[in-house]
Amino acid sequence: MNIFYKCYCRAFQKTMKLVSPLLPWREPQLLAPEGGAAGLGAMIAGKYRKVFVVTGPNVYKKGLADGLLRGFDNAGVEYELFNRVVNNPTIDNIEEAYTVYRNAECDAIVALGGGSPMDLAKVVGARVARPDKSVKQMKGLLKIRKRIPDLYAIPTTAGSGSETTLAAVVSDGATHEKYAINDVSLIPRYAILDPAMTMGLPPQTTATTGMDALTHAVEAYIGGSNTKLTRQRAEQAVKLIFAYLKKAYDDGADLEARTNMQKASYYAGVAFTRAYVGYVHALAHALGGFYGTPHGLANAVLLPVVLECYGESAAKPLARLADIVGIGENGDDDKSKAAKFVARIREMNDEMGIPRTIEGIKSDDIPLMAERAFKEACPLYPVPRILDRPQLEELYRAISG
């Protein structure tokens, strides 16, 4: 890679780190209504004209929205239900939801589900705040800059951390591109962590969403834009995930494990919304855009491969994480500790049946996917080591089934 471009990337990242404290950062207000999510109606009765409830068909069919909606009915909260969120929401799906929101004259949003319903809800809110801008025109950083309608986020997984973040990921069905919209105005105003909402998760979903949260924490931690708070939150998340993810996978009814995994996902979200992610996410987004690969699965498969590729550039922070989770022995240097930490991630994947490769990657698609991953990551992501396009292509080949 051209040395001048590397210098440009590092200068851009340093500038962003210097400017970042000037932005209106905030965390969602955590609500704890009586009865969990079902008690939200009693808390907001009389506050809004009509609430737009966003969820996906699987969440709705499983009955996870029943308590919430029943609580709205009992409290006299008017609502409009949109339960047609697709995985990796597309521009068309977002525009459909935006039209429903507008026609129903709603003035607040409740997102119930994993990352996809929350991403769609955020972009619908952005379209309400900026009707003059298309979804494509919001791509990138700080393109909204206006307050969106009050957004209540209720996660049904422990992974995406979307209830805390400034990011919404969009898929373009026409170009197979997957990209992020990033703006502090997209951080949900309120969040409800109700572990009962995650009790019915299948083991494989528990595994991949949990590894998604781990990816958020690790990528934030090893990057160059950390603050004292993001390091603290990332460390808390990693420690909880190493302690409780396998327990949640083995026993979906383990309330303690489910509660701690929700905390971990939240902490990881706080970390990466301020400190950014890295090449794992950039590569995973391209896989999702081309093949619809579930984001958590892509992250889980890519995480150890990318960390190994970083080599010594990430050894010191990975060694600290190894110490935090009790990996390594007295006398190990940073390189040895980092290698053991990465090996343990791979073991966790193996123990939960997560494959080491992703089937269906076409060799002809790899150059374009690498190009899109490169453009997503550079110059924004403050990664330990800047990789060029051929190196990103090799990472795709390393995980090809």
Q: Residue 340: pLDDT band by 50, 70, 90 thresholds?
A: very high
pLDDT of 322 over the 90 cut = yes
For 232, list phi and psi in degrees, rounded to 5: -65, -45
**Parent domain of 136:** 32-198
Question: Does residue 14 lie within any of the structural domains?
Answer: no
| Helix residue spans in 251-385 (DSSP H) | 255-275, 279-291, 295-310, 315-324, 334-351, 366-377
Which residues face 180 on adjacent strands? Answer: 169
Query: Is 137 within 8 Å of 143 (Cβ atoms)?
Result: yes
Question: Does residue 13 lie within any of the structural domains?
Answer: no
DSSP E strand stretches across 8-100: 29-31, 51-54, 79-82
Q: Residue 125: pLDDT band by 50, 70, 90 thresholds?
A: very high
Q: Residue 230: pLDDT band by 50, 70, 90 thresholds?
A: very high
pLDDT of 1 over the 80 cut = no
Among 129, 112, 133, smallest CA distance to 121 is for 112
Mean pLDDT within 132-156: 96
Q: Residue 149: pLDDT band by 50, 70, 90 thresholds?
A: very high
Instruction: Give the three-class secondary structure for 56.
Output: coil
* Boundary (domain end) residue, out of 155, 172, 198: 198
Residue 40, CB half-sphere, CA atoms under 13 Å: how many? 30
Instruction: List, for residues 185-205, the tens digit of each pLDDT value.
Output: 999 999 999 999 998 899 999
242 plus 291 within the same structural domain: yes
Q: Residue 331: pLDDT band by 50, 70, 90 thresholds?
A: confident
172 plus 211 within the same structural domain: no
Kindly state the percentage of the chain with pLDDT values over 70: 100
Instruction: List, for residues 236-253, the tens digit of each pLDDT value.
Output: 999 999 999 999 999 999
Nearby residues of 16 by Cβ (< 8 Å), 6 or more positions away: 225, 380, 382
Instruction: Give the three-class secondary structure for 169.
Output: strand
Residue 289 identity (one-letter amino acid): G
188 plus 279 within the same structural domain: no
Question: Does residue 22 lie within any of the structural domains?
Answer: no
- The Cα–Cα gap between 16 and 25 comes to 14
Q: What is the dihedral of CA 64, 65, 71, 74, to 10 degrees?
A: -120
Q: Residue 329: pLDDT band by 50, 70, 90 thresholds?
A: confident
47 plus 169 within the same structural domain: yes
Question: Does residue 44 lie within any of the structural domains?
Answer: yes
164 plus 296 within the same structural domain: no
pLDDT score, position 379: 96
258 plus 158 within the same structural domain: no
Q: Residue 2: pLDDT band by 50, 70, 90 thresholds?
A: confident
- The Cα–Cα gap between 227 and 233 comes to 10
**CATH number for the domain that contains residue 310:** 1.20.1090.10
Mean pLDDT within 273-285: 97
Residue for token digits 């969820």? 55
What is the domain count for the chain?
2
pLDDT score, position 17: 95
pLDDT of 173 over the 90 cut = no
- The Cα–Cα gap between 306 and 41 comes to 44
pLDDT of 399 over the 80 cut = yes
Instruction: Give the three-class secondary structure for 363.
Output: helix
Nearby residues of 367 by Cβ (< 8 Å), 6 or more positions away: 389, 393
* Boundary (domain end) residue, out of 172, 198, 224: 198
- pTM, to two decimals: 0.94
* Boundary (domain end) residue, out of 174, 198, 222: 198
Task: Provide Rg for the chain, Cα atoms.
Answer: 20
pLDDT of 397 over the 80 cut = yes
**CATH number for the domain that contains residue 123:** 3.40.50.1970
Q: In angstroms, what CA-CA distances link 311 with 148, 224, 314, 331, 370?
A: 41, 16, 6, 20, 20
44 plus 183 within the same structural domain: yes
268 plus 337 within the same structural domain: yes
Among 268, 270, 261, smallest CA distance to 195 is for 261
pLDDT of 401 over the 80 cut = no
Question: Does residue 21 lie within any of the structural domains?
Answer: no
Residue 332 identity (one-letter amino acid): D
